[in-house]
Amino acid sequence: MGGIATVTDVAEDRGPRLRADARRNRERIIAAAREMFVEHGSEVAFDEVARRAGVGNATLYRHFADRGELAHRVILSVLERITEQGELALAEESEAFAALRRFAHGAVKERIGALCPLVSATVDKEHPELITARTRLEHLVETLMERSRTEGRLRTDIGSGDLLMAITQLTRPLPGMGSCMVNDRFVHRHLDVLLDGLCTPEPTALSGSAVAMRDLEHLADEPEGQPHGR
């Protein structure tokens, strides 16, 4: 997976690769940060991330200079992981809709809705690495959905953005609960209900128009209360 384009990373790329123990520490930090961002939001203290990862503060700062760099790497790793899982599902499943279902459940496990405030607060959404990762994810989801339509399994009046927005809403923390972990009991069950609703037999007519993933990037700029696609 690609790292963050920092001076430190460029120096590492030009010199010897990270030692195995340093690479493991980096991966542990990213995993711990993701867990804590999901559980507690974007303002988690660096020393708490280091403690969760089982490393010292100095080790954390050697890999990530600040919160923005760490958040960037967390978001990038999540995007890459759910895309890779979806690509594997597409290669392994005999039916595209089964692959789509498997992808959706994998995305739910990553708690992408809980990470949205992290993106808004600390991440440069126009960073070339993130654009590349989003484009790859968009291509995967469009492929999964188009093949599912060709199979006759997926209704034709939804877009990739509709699916990703629904997954995002399912994985947002519940109001007043402090953590989205309470969603664990229900989220996969509710996702299956959602996916069944995307199947073709006698679907209910939807209001508005289908949403593509790229449309989601502009929703924040629309006047509040204005329906998308109207």
Mean pLDDT of the region 42-52 = 90
Residue-wise pLDDT for 170-215, tens only, equals 888 766 555 545 456 678 888 898 998 888 776 667 667 777 877 7
Mean pLDDT of the region 124-131 = 91
Residue-wise pLDDT for 140-168, tens only, equals 999 999 999 999 999 999 899 999 999 99
- Does pLDDT of 3 surpass 50? no
Q: What pLDDT band is residue 217 in, cutting at 50, 70 and 90?
A: confident
- Does pLDDT of 58 surpass 90? yes
The vertex-30 CA angle with 73 and 98, nearest 5°, equals: 80
The vertex-165 CA angle with 112 and 83, nearest 5°, equals: 50
User: Alpha helices, DSSP H only, in 15-112?
Assistant: 20-40, 46-53, 57-63, 67-92, 96-109
Q: What is the DSSP string of 113-171?
A: TTTHHHHHHH--TT-HHHHHHHHHHHHHHHHHHHHHHHTT-B-SS--HHHHHHHHHHHT
Choice between 133 and 181, residue whose per-residue pLDDT is larger: 133
- Does pLDDT of 62 surpass 70? yes
Q: What pLDDT band is residue 53 in, cutting at 50, 70 and 90?
A: very high
Residue-wise pLDDT for 68-104, tens only, equals 899 999 999 999 999 999 999 999 999 999 999 999 9
What is the structure's pLDDT at 116? 81
> For the chain, what is the mean pLDDT?
82
- Does pLDDT of 48 surpass 70? yes
